[in-house]
Homo-oligomer: A and B are copies of this chain.
Amino acid sequence: MTASTFLDPVSDAMPRVETLLRGIDKVGIPWMESVLQHILGSSGKRVRPALVLLAGQVATYDLDLLVPMAAAIELLHTATLVHDDTVDKSALRRGIATINSLWSGETAVLVGDYLFANSADLVSTTGNVRVMRLFAQTLMHMAAGELSQVFSAYRWQQTREEYYQRIGRKTAVLFAMATESGAVLGGADEPAVQALKSYGQNLGLAFQLVDDILDFTGSAEELGKPAGSDLMQGTLTLPALLLLERYPQDNPVRAALEAHGSPELVQQAIEMARNSSVIDEAYAEAREFSLRARAELHHLRDCPARLAMEGLAESMLERRA
């Protein structure tokens, strides 16, 4: 499966999602429109909105409900990126200048809030109480996750459990919301809703694990930001945790964090990871989550959307950026 084959079953509906996304930059402030175009235009492969539509296609494919939900998920995702980049003072995201670096941190705060609000508004157009509650709870988890990430920054004494809780709240909860809301709005029965929610959760964990591995193995060109960004910002990910477990003495990860992300020590940690088996080990964990995600789909009826979601779970392990 190529990077975008998973979009095939929903390729009819994705342009409607794009239209909704483009529609929110009509606020009558010319400056604002250019900011919104900058971020919404530079987004990635729209994996999260596609998941809403794919999950919805497993049951009745009601696009009048699914399209606003899909757009809402992308806006929520974008809003969190805008605020996270501001908090982390990141200059680049996917090779493109961040709002906080191009305009200002203050602009980024307000633009993020505006995106959150638009996202909530789109969700509310579904008129579905369960989905609206899910949205609010997802917001809570993500905000708490980002807070705990900032709170634990540069702390090298962390457990795998803390790591998984953190990436669960930071990433997996949004993937799970995408598939659960798609299933609910598609009118799937409860076992199918739960299977799709669990698929999203496991897919999200695999996605973030691979993201965290790529920060050790990728080139700056592939990543669109310097390799080792996580350690530089004080974020302890699985490859780093495995290095700490394996080599408790004179560990460059610990030294890099204690030196508040010193680039030389981060570079040493990256080389140590590349020359050890921790990358393979981390991939083995990602593979496990990808397999669990696919296993959840066995409960669903056979259809192109299910096949696409299986392929998407498989392709997680092959992505390079």
* Contact A151 B31, beta carbon cutoff 8 Å: yes
Cβ–Cβ < 8 Å partners of A259 in chain B = none
* Contact A143 B114, beta carbon cutoff 8 Å: yes
Given contacts A120-B136, A121-B136, A140-B121, A114 and B29 within 8 Å (CB-CB): no
Complex Cα gap A114–B116 (Å): 12
Interface hit among A59-67, A127-135, A182-190, A203-211: A127-135
Nearest Cβ on chain B to A20's Cβ, whole angstroms: 14
Cβ–Cβ < 8 Å partners of A111 in chain B = 147
Cβ–Cβ < 8 Å partners of A29 in chain B = 147-148, 151
Complex Cα gap A111–B148 (Å): 11
Interface hit among A102-110, A215-223, A248-256, A291-299: A102-110
* Contact A124 B117, beta carbon cutoff 8 Å: no
Asked if A113 is at the interface (CB within 8 A of a chain B CB), the reply is yes
For the side of the interface on A, what is the size category? 35 or more
Nearest Cβ on chain B to A270's Cβ, whole angstroms: 26
Mark A143-167 against chain B: 1 for CB-CB distance below 8 A, else 0.
Answer: 1101110110000000000000000
Cβ–Cβ < 8 Å partners of A116 in chain B = 113, 116, 139, 143
Residues 1-42 of A contacting B (Cβ, < 8 Å) = 27, 29, 31-32
* Copies, count: 2
* Contact A120 B135, beta carbon cutoff 8 Å: yes
Nearest Cβ on chain B to A259's Cβ, whole angstroms: 20
Asked if A118 is at the interface (CB within 8 A of a chain B CB), the reply is yes
Asked if A87 is at the interface (CB within 8 A of a chain B CB), the reply is yes
Complex Cα gap A321–B177 (Å): 44
Residues 77-97 of A contacting B (Cβ, < 8 Å) = 83, 86-87, 89
Asked if A123 is at the interface (CB within 8 A of a chain B CB), the reply is yes
* Contact A114 B147, beta carbon cutoff 8 Å: yes
Complex Cα gap A151–B27 (Å): 12
Asked if A142 is at the interface (CB within 8 A of a chain B CB), the reply is yes
Given contacts A120-B135, A135-B120, A110 and B146 within 8 Å (CB-CB): yes
* Contact A133 B124, beta carbon cutoff 8 Å: yes
Nearest Cβ on chain B to A119's Cβ, whole angstroms: 9
* Contact B117 A147, beta carbon cutoff 8 Å: no
* Contact B105 A83, beta carbon cutoff 8 Å: no
A residues contacting B by CB (< 8 A) are 27, 29, 31-32, 83, 86-87, 89, 105-107, 109-114, 116-118, 120-121, 123-125, 127-129, 132-133, 135-137, 139-140, 142-144, 146-148, 150-151
Given contacts A114-B147, A124-B135, A128-B129, 18 further A-B contacts (CB under 8 A): A27-B144, A29-B151, A87-B109, A106-B150, A109-B109, A110-B147, A110-B150, A113-B139, A113-B143, A114-B143, A114-B144, A117-B136, A120-B139, A121-B137, A121-B140, A124-B132, A124-B136, A129-B132
Closest 4 CB pairs of A and B: A117-B139, A120-B136, A114-B143, A124-B133
A-B CB contact pairs (8 Å), 11 listed? A87-B109, A105-B105, A107-B150, A110-B146, A113-B116, A114-B140, A114-B143, A116-B139, A120-B136, A120-B140, A124-B135
